[in-house]
C-alpha cells in the first residue's frame, strides 16, 4: 500500500506542466534567511483530524469509497470531541521536542475546522462548536511552537469545485455546473481569513493535481498569499509539478520547499525539504493502527536531519479529541532522546555523509555528529574525510573514542552494546568548518 501511495504521488507530481519559482514576480519568493530559520527547527507535528474519525477511515480518500458520500458528508452532525484540549496537544508536541505544528484546517473532504464565514460546512455546525484552529494557534503561542495550517487545494465537497467523486467512472462524479473561478475566489477568501485570524508561520498545501487547477492559478495564489504576509512560508504543493530537482540540486517546482511523503528525502544541501510521515499507518485515526517502534522513530528523525531535511511527524487524534495514550508515550520518548542529543539535530546541517542503514551524519561549526545505528563487530568503519584533520572524537553523552585514521577510512571502535540502542551519537571535531566538506556519496540504501 505504501509503495502504491508513493507511486501515486510520483505520477501525480509528474502530471501537469512543470513550473518553477522563476515564473514568480521578482522579490516575492520567501527569503533564504526565513527558510534557514525554518530548516533549523527540524521537527514538527502534523495533525490529521476531522469528523471522518467517527468512521476510522482515511481522511478525504475514504469519501465515496469505504464511506458512502451521503454518510461521510453528514458525519459532522455527530462530531463532538469533548476530550479535545488544544493545550494538551501542543504540550505533547513540545514534550516531543517538536518546534512547529501543522493542522488540517481543510482536507480534501472540504470540512473546515474553524468558523469560516464562507461556508457552513465547518466546526460551528457540529455539536462541539469550538474553533479548533484558533485554540491550537493560541496554545502554540503559549508553548513557543510555530503554528502552521494545512489547506487542500482540491475540495471534493464544495459545490463550485468540479470534482465530487474520483471513484465514479460514469461521469456522475463531475459537477457540470461548477465554476472553478468561483471556487478560487472561495479559496482566496478562506486563506485571507486564516492568515488574518491565525497568523500562520507556514501554509501546507496539498491536492493541486486535478486538471481544473492550473499553473496560472497556482502562480497567482502564491503571489496573493505573499501580499497577505510577506514572510509566509508556502510548501511546494500549490503548483502543478510539485516535486523534483535538476542536476544541480535546484528546485524544479513552485514553492519554498519540497515535501517527500512517507519516505526520507535525499541529502540535498541546496534545496529545503521536509519529509511528512505517519507515526502509525493511516493519516487520520483508525482503531488499533500499527505504531512505529521508538527505534524507527528516532532513526527516521536522524536520517532526515542527516539528509538536511525536516521531519513533519503525523498523529491522528481520536474522534473524542484525545491523542492515543501510546502515541503520547512514544512522542515523549522521542523528546527524552532529543533532550540528550538535541545538539546533533536542531540547528545543524545534514551531511557530509549520505544517510545509510548503519549511520547518518549532521554537522555544525567544527563538529560532525555521527548518528550510529549499527556497529558491526564493535567498529564503525566509514570513508575518510579528504583534507580534514580530526582533532578529537568522543561520545556526545560522554566518553572518549579512540579513532583510527587510515588513508581512506575512519575506524571508530564502539562498545559491543551501543550506549544508546536507538542512536548513539559520536562527535568528530574537525580542523575546519564542517559545512565546507563536500557530500560523500554512499551506495547503500537509506
**Residues making contact with ligand H79 (CB under 6 A):** 4-5, 8-9, 60-61, 206, 261, 276, 283
Q: Tell me how far apart the alpha carbons of residues 59 and 23 are, in angstroms, rounded to a whole number.
A: 33
CB 234, min distance to ligand H79, A: 15
- Minimum CB distance to ligand H79 smaller for 61 or for 186: 61
CB 358, min distance to ligand H79, A: 30
CB 47, min distance to ligand H79, A: 11
- Minimum CB distance to ligand H79 smaller for 97 or for 316: 316
**Residue 406, Cβ density class (10 Å: 0-12 exposed, 13-18 middle, ≥19 buried):** exposed
CB 200, min distance to ligand H79, A: 16
- Asked if 120 and 358 touch (Cβ cutoff 8 Å), the reply is no
Q: Tell me how far apart the alpha carbons of residues 79 and 76 are, in angstroms, rounded to a whole number.
A: 5
Neighbours of 333 (CB within 10 A): 15
- Minimum CB distance to ligand H79 smaller for 64 or for 367: 64
Cell of 107: 482536507
Residue 253 carries which DSSP code?
A: S
Rounded to the nearest 5 degrees, what angle is found at the Cα of 93, between the Cα atoms of 91 and 98?
130
CB 152, min distance to ligand H79, A: 8
- Minimum CB distance to ligand H79 smaller for 49 or for 353: 49
- Minimum CB distance to ligand H79 smaller for 13 or for 338: 13
Contact residues for 400 (Cβ-Cβ < 8 A; gap 6+) = 393, 394
- Minimum CB distance to ligand H79 smaller for 4 or for 376: 4
Q: Which helix (H) or strand (E) holds 43?
A: strand 43-47
Residue 210 carries which DSSP code?
A: S
CB 58, min distance to ligand H79, A: 7
Rounded to the nearest 5 degrees, what angle is found at the Cα of 87, between the Cα atoms of 85 and 91?
125
CB 107, min distance to ligand H79, A: 6
- Minimum CB distance to ligand H79 smaller for 276 or for 382: 276
Sign of CA dihedral 196, 136, 327, 396: positive
Comparing C-alpha atoms, which of 390, 397, 396 is closest to residue 411?
390
Q: Tell me how far apart the alpha carbons of residues 102 and 234 are, in angstroms, rounded to a whole number.
A: 12
Q: How far is CA 342 from CA 115, 336, 345, 388, in A?
A: 38, 10, 5, 25
How long is the chain?
446
CB 206, min distance to ligand H79, A: 5
- Minimum CB distance to ligand H79 smaller for 60 or for 200: 60
Amino acid at each position: 500500500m505504501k509503495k502504491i501511495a508513493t507511486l501515486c504521488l510520483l505520477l501525480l507530481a509528474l502530471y501537469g506542466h512543470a513550473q518553477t519559482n522563476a515564473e514568480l514576480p521578482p522579490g516575492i519568493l520567501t527569503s533564504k534567511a526565513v527558510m534557514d530559520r525554518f530548516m533549523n527547527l527540524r521537527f514538527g507535528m502534523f495533525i490529521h483530524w476531522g469528523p471522518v474519525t467517527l468512521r476510522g477511515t482515511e481522511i478525504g480518500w475514504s469519501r465515496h469509497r469505504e464511506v458512502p458520500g451521503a454518510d461521510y458528508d453528514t458525519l459532522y452532525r455527530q462530531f463532538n470531541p469533548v476530550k479535545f484540549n488544544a493545550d494538551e496537544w501542543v504540550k505533547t508536541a513540545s514534550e516531543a521536542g517538536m518546534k512547529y505544528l501543522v493542522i488540517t484546517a481543510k482536507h480534501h473532504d472540504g470540512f473546515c475546522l474553524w468558523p469560516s464565514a464562507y461556508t457552513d460546512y465547518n466546526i460551528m455546525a457540529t455539536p462541539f462548536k469550538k474553533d479548533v484552529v484558533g485554540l491550537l494557534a493560541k496554545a502554540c503561542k503559549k508553548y513557543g511552537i510555530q503554528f502552521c495550517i494545512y489547506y487542500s487545494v482540491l475540495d471534493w465537497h464544495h459545490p463550485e469545485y468540479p470534482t465530487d467523486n474520483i471513484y465514479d467512472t460514469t461521469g456522475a462524479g463531475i459537477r457540470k455546473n461548477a465554476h472553478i473561478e468561483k471556487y478560487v475566489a472561495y479559496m482566496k477568501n478562506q486563506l485571507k481569513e486564516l492568515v488574518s485570524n491565525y497568523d500562520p508561520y507556514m501554509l501546507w498545501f496539498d491536492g493541486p493535481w486535478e486538471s481544473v487547477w492550473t499553473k496560472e492559478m497556482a502562480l497567482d495564489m502564491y503571489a496573493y498569499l505573499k501580499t497577505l504576509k510577506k514572510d509566509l512560508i508556502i510548501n511546494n504543493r500549490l503548483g502543478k509539478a510539485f516535486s523534483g530537482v535538476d542536476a544541480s540540486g535546484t528546485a524544479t517546482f513552485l514553492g519554498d520547499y519540497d515535501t517527500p511523503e512517507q519516505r526520507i528525502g535525499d541529502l540535498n544541501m541546496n534545496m529545503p525539504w521536509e519529509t511528512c510521515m505517519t507515526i502509525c499507518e493511516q493519516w487520520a485515526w483508525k482503531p488499533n493502527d500499527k505504531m512505529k517502534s521508538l527505534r524507527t522513530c528516532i532513526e527516521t528523525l536522524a536520517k532526515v536531519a542527516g539528509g538536511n531535511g525536516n521531519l513533519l511527524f503525523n498523529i491522528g487524534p481520536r474522534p473524542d479529541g484525545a491523542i492515543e495514550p501510546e502515541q503520547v508515550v512514544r512522542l515523549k520518548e522521542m523528546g527524552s532522546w532529543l533532550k540528550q542529543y538535541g545538539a546533533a539535530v536542531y540547528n545543524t546541517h545534514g551531511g557530509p555523509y549520505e544517510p545509510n542503514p548503519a549511520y547518518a551524519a549532521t554537522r555544525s561549526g567544527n563538529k560532525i555528529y555521527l548518528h550510529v545505528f549499527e556497529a558491526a563487530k564493535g567498529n564503525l568503519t566509514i570513508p575518510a574525510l579528504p583534507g580534514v584533520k580530526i582533532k578529537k572524537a568522543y561520545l556526545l553523552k560522554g566518553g572518549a573514542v579512540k579513532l583510527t585514521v587510515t588513508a581512506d577510512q575512519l575506524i571508530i571502535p564502539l562498545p559491543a552494546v551501543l550506549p544508546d540502542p536507538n542512536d548513539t551519537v559520536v562527535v568528530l571535531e574537525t580542523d575546519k568548518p564542517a559545512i565546507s566538506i563536500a557530500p560523500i556519496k554512499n551506495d547503500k540504501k537509506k
